[in-house]
Amino acid sequence: MDYSVAVIGGGLLGASFGWGLARRKIKTIVIDQGDNAIRSARGNFGLVWLQSKGVGMPEYARWTHQSTREWVAFSEELEATTGIGIHYDRCGGYILCLDDAMQEATERSMSTLMTSLGDHAYDCKSLNYAEVKEALPLVGKIAGATYSPHDGHCNPLNLLRALHKGFIMMGGKYHSNCTISSITPLSGGGFRVTDESTGTTFSAEKIIIAAGHGSAQLGTQVGLDIPIFPDQGQVLVTEKRGPVLRHPTNFVRQTDNGSFMLGPSSQKVGFNTDTNPEVLAEIARNCCTAFPFLSQIKIQRAWAALRIMTPDGFPVYQQSDEHSGAFSFACHSGVTLASTHALQVPKWIEQGAIPKQYEAFHPRRFHV
Amino acid sequence: MIDVAIVGAGPAGLTVLEELGKHNVEALLIDEQPQAGGQIYRSLTKNLHENSDLCNRLGESYTAGKKLVSSLDDQTEKLLHARIWDLTTNLQSVTLGLTSAKNTQLLHAKQVVLCNGAMERPTAFSGWNLPGVMSIGGAQTLMKASGLVPEEPFVVVGSGPLVYLYINQLLDSGVKPTAFLDLTQSNNKKHYLPHAIKALVHHSSLIQQGLKWQKRINRSGIPVYQNIQQLTAKGEKSLQKVSWQSQGRYHEIDCKLLLTHDGIIPNTQLAKAANCQLHWHELQKYWHPKLNEYGLSSKKNVWITGDSGYIDGAEGAIIKARITAMSLANQLGRLSYGSWQKQLAPLTKKLKKMRHLRHFLEHYYLPSDAFNPICNNVDLICRCEQVSKTQIQIAAQEQSQGINQVRVFTRCGMGHCKGYQCGDNVGKIIAHEQQRSVMEVGYLSGRLPVKALTVGELASIKSG
Amino acid sequence: MFKRSMPMLDPVSFFFNEKVIVANKNDTVAAALLAAGITTFSLGTNEKTHRAPVCMIGNCFECLVEIDGQSNQQACLIEVSANMNVKTQYGLVLVKDLLESNMKNSKND
């Protein structure tokens, strides 16, 4: 076998798995597409976020909570070894509610979630307008917010860069500009992977499909059903300003270089990565309601990216029944989950199985 | 919904407007400047009225635009002092994101004609980012719009017709560069000579005009240097000295102004925003939209003409603009196929003839090695984000990334200018490191807004 | 760097870093500052990189200045107006300063 593990996909998931595997001294290759692939990892907002996650699936809330706990040590190790600043700040985050209806819905949702978590409920409270105004003096006239000290943000592009750099520093092999045409299970175990663009092949004992939107087609070759579809999100980035907003919010966050990122949006437009000015205008309106000072700030650039969305929005993790060395992972929270993807998942791969407690993430939940 | 939006009120845009008018096609002319004329005829209307001395000094190539800029009147549907920050298309229409003094809106049209002209090729060399290093086109704009001329001592470096024209305009203003570093390559005779014959036969007057400009420079006493190497701008907070090597000797001049020029390239910002396909011109090293012979891009309701489609100069722009406008009128059913083809014939012939000169100029004035980051010792490539050549080389080598991944990893092209000053050079550097063609490496994907836009202006768009 | 080759027919005065500069009507802010001998328009976000105009037609963004409390204004695309308050752009303008200087400017209206 050329490699112990082949990771197909070099975005936030693939790079996290690769880094974690190389860290465990497992001989790994990460295979990536080229520049003009969909590359959802580029569209990321940068939140490392716990609040509101897992309504309807407490396992996901617990998994996310574990991720946010492991993020500090994870980012410190990445920074120390690669010299690339991740700028992780776990300062607490706010879900701003622009009107009463949103405030009620958000509070209800939070209460349902905490109930379902029982002993695993975490620190999260709701605030009225006066309380939000005291915490965030620049906020506009909104209904209120919910706040959790577990939330934070980072520089997602630097995160991806650092994972790639660290992976290579630890001896990982990285191939880009590839198009995987086939993954063939070998009779003695293991898989043969063929890169269509160069015609080269290599073998690996285990494979992880973490190819974002390209995963479904690859999954069929090793008996994995990966039910994902694109959910388009658009983002605005503004010119840089001196730091005035430390805490990330659901609509706006200020990055480490001073620019503001504005979102979110969600559209079902297939694999379309074109921005839509009407959607952007709505983002702008919401963000100006949240923070009126933004109205005079210039927009630097805008883009659209395709979230990897599953039918219920929760991750899909699975191992093939037919070929036990084949795994697939798909989710839309590649930044928040980067720590556990890097520190926990490689252990599972090494042991050869996804632990039973993560059964909830198996896509058979959709076949009820 | 209007039939046609015309972006740009330079020679091409004004001609498209006039031609469409002949075929009763309703069109709206949009330009960023408060007056029509584009950059070539910048402030011409005002200068004709108020500054005849300046008009004389700028010469015939400037005043020749008189008829064109006077063609606009109060009846013309126009939106001046308006900036277009986005262009999107679907099968039925185009949508322009537009901000004017009145408001910010999404303007829908059945078709759009992009006539946003050309821009100067950025000239990267050691010290290029010092205040006091400016483009010749920029200096010429200062002269046209405000009557400003350089203070001596100053140095001019570059190649191309614009350089000779500008120095002549300065001589007519009683101003002389302290030195002229002529970057025209002298060792490519076998490439341009075949084209020179055809150009001479068909455009002897234009060629003679160029030679006349050159001769006057040679007679003016301005020191002219050739075979320039190691061009360097030096200074602390601004330019203080310019140095170079020429014919094996080192030269240095104290000066506060260095004017550079390395030819012009199409402005493809809106073409990129609309996702039109682009091609790389291997000889002249610029990206241009893929167009059919009538100026239709890869998007069926986006037409691109004038210099923003391909560099053909002002006269070529006017011919192409007419061809595009007629073809558009035919597309909209206002001009029958027979009439269209009949009117096209002489124009196509004229354009073909024009292209003899163009081919000569393309082979004679090649992009300079002095400004090519592969050949020179420039360190800073992305000025906005302060990214060095070394950083880009590392990103290109380490992970075989394409140009957009290199942008993600180094931040080059993420600053204010969105890659205008660095994008093509980043492409060249990556191509060199990865032994690929620039066409394969690609270009920085376009991002809205193409022009300034505040969050508040965007938010103010009325929905629906 | 540059000088006027003809007299100003329609003078307009404005402020640059609190000093009065006289320009001609329809001059862009960039032209007016260059004619007045200004060589630094902004000091970049690192507060060290001196920037001045290059292209004069809105493509290079090296001519950014602060005008009437708004930062990142392209001086080559904006015409001077009487009593306009132009400043060297220095580093990252704080939103708080923007809000305060806006209040100051609106008081002058």
Q: Which residue of B lies nearest to A84 if distances are taken between CA atoms?
A: B409
Q: Which residue of C lies nearest to B140 if distances are taken between CA atoms?
A: C56
Is the CB of A138 less than 8 angstroms away from the CB of C70?
no
Cα–Cα distance between B450 and B181 in angstroms, integer? 34
Residue A241 has pLDDT above 50, yes or no: yes
Is the CB of C91 less than 8 angstroms away from the CB of A242?
yes
A62-89 as b/e, with b when 16 or more CB fall inside 10 Å?
bbbbbbbbbbeebbebbbeebebebbbb
| Cα-Cα-Cα-Cα dihedral sign, residues B443, B448, B453, B456 | negative
What digits encode the pLDDT tens for the residues C10-42?
A: 999 999 999 999 999 999 999 999 999 999 999
What digits encode the pLDDT tens for the residues B382-440?
A: 999 999 999 999 989 876 678 998 998 899 999 899 999 999 999 999 999 999 999 99
Average pLDDT, chain B: 94
Considering only CB atoms, A301 lies closest to which of B403, B418, B458, namely B418
Choice among A49-53, B13-17, B447-451 with the minimum mean pLDDT:
B447-451
Interface test with A, best of C95, C102, C105, C106 (most A CBs within 10 A): C95
Residue B305 CB partners (closer than 8 Å, separation 6+): B12, B16, B113, B114, B115, B295, B317, B320, B321, B323, B324
C59 CA to chain B: closest CA distance, Å? 6
Residue A157 has pLDDT above 80, yes or no: yes
For C11-108, CATH gives: 3.10.20.440
Residue C55 forms contact with A (CB below 8 Å): no
Amino acid at residue number A278: E
Chains A–B, number of C-beta pairs less than 8 Å apart: 96
Same fold, A3-47+157-228+312-366 and A92-150+229-309: no
Mean pLDDT across A21-40? 88
Mean pLDDT across A321-346? 96
Chain A contact set for C47 (CB, 8 A): none
Chain C contact set for A137 (CB, 8 A): none
Residue B345 has pLDDT above 50, yes or no: yes
Residue B322 CB partners (closer than 8 Å, separation 6+): B15, B16, B19, B347
Q: Which chains reach chain A with 3 or more Cβ–Cβ distances below 8 angstroms?
A: B, C
Choice among B108-122, B165-179, B181-195, B414-428 with the minimum mean pLDDT:
B181-195
Q: What domains sit in chain B, N to C, each tagged with a CATH number? A: 2-119+266-335 (3.50.50.60), 122-262 (3.50.50.60), 379-441 (1.10.10)
Considering only CB atoms, A258 lies closest to which of C92, C97, C99, namely C92
Domain boundaries, chain A: 3-47+157-228+312-366, 92-150+229-309
Mean pLDDT across A123-142? 96
Residue B177 CB partners (closer than 8 Å, separation 6+): B150, B152, B154, B155, B156, B167, B170, B222, B259
Task: Report the alpha-carbon angle A161-B388-C40, nearest 5.
Answer: 125
Chain A contact set for B400 (CB, 8 A): 176-177
Contact B196, B360 (CB under 8 A): yes
Start-to-end C-alpha separation, chain A: 39
pLDDT interval class at C48 (50, 70, 90): confident
- What is the pLDDT at residue B457? 97
From residue B222, alpha-carbon distances to A84, B113, B215 in Å are 52, 43, 11
CATH class of A92-150+229-309: alpha beta
Q: Which two tokens stand for residue A9?
A: 């996909």
Considering only CB atoms, C92 lies closest to which of A138, A242, A298, namely A242
Residue C107 has pLDDT above 60, yes or no: no
Considering only CB atoms, C93 lies closest to which of A138, A241, A257, namely A241
Is the CB of B448 less than 8 angstroms away from the CB of A274?
no
Q: Are strands C11-16 and B118-120 parallel, antiparallel or unpaired?
A: unpaired
From residue B251, alpha-carbon distances to B186, B232, B243, B245 in Å are 20, 10, 5, 6
Residue B197 has pLDDT above 90, yes or no: no
Is the CB of C95 less than 8 angstroms away from the CB of A241?
yes
B129 CA to chain A: closest CA distance, Å? 21
What digits encode the pLDDT tens for the residues B280-316?
A: 999 999 999 999 999 999 999 999 999 999 999 999 9
Chain C contact set for B420 (CB, 8 A): 59-61
Considering only CB atoms, A240 lies closest to which of C45, C97, C102, namely C45
pTM of the model: 0.91
Cα–Cα distance between A195 and A211 in angstroms, integer? 14
φ and ψ of B203, to 5 deg: -135, 40
Domain boundaries, chain C: 11-108
- What is the pLDDT at residue C108? 43
Contact A211, A7 (CB under 8 A): no
- What is the pLDDT at residue B189? 80
Q: Which two tokens stand for residue B47?
A: 């200068």
CATH class of A3-47+157-228+312-366: alpha beta
Instruction: Name the residue among B367, B362, B358, B363 with its Cα closest to residue B424.
Output: B367
Give the helix ranges, DSSP H, for B100-222: 136-146, 161-171, 189-202, 204-219
Q: Which chains reach chain C with 3 or more Cβ–Cβ distances below 8 angstroms?
A: A, B
A285 CA to chain C: closest CA distance, Å? 19
B95 CA to chain A: closest CA distance, Å? 9
Cα–Cα distance between B300 and B20 in angstroms, integer? 18
Cα–Cα distance between A167 and A158 in angstroms, integer? 14
Which residue would you say has higher pLDDT here, A49 or C102? A49
Mean pLDDT across A225-240? 95
Mean pLDDT across A14-20? 98
Residue C77 forms contact with B (CB below 8 Å): yes
Give the helix ranges, DSSP H, for chain A: 12-23, 58-82, 100-117, 129-135, 156-169, 215-220, 277-290, 338-343, 345-351
C51 CA to chain B: closest CA distance, Å? 6
What digits encode the pLDDT tens for the residues A280-316?
A: 999 999 999 999 999 999 999 998 999 999 999 999 9
Helix (H) / strand (E) element for B410: namely: helix B403-410
- What is the pLDDT at residue A44? 84
Q: Which residue of B lies nearest to A163 if distances are taken between CA atoms?
A: B409
Is the CB of B404 less than 8 angstroms away from the CB of A35?
yes
What digits encode the pLDDT tens for the residues C53-99?
A: 999 999 999 999 999 988 889 999 999 999 999 999 987 777 766 66
- What is the pLDDT at residue A18? 98
- What is the pLDDT at residue B158? 97
Residue C109 has pLDDT above 70, yes or no: no
3-state secondary structure labels for all residues of B345-407: HHHHHHHHHHHHHHHHHHHHCCCCHHHCCCCCCCCEEECCCCEEHHHHHHHHHHHCCCHHHHH
C15 CA to chain B: closest CA distance, Å? 19
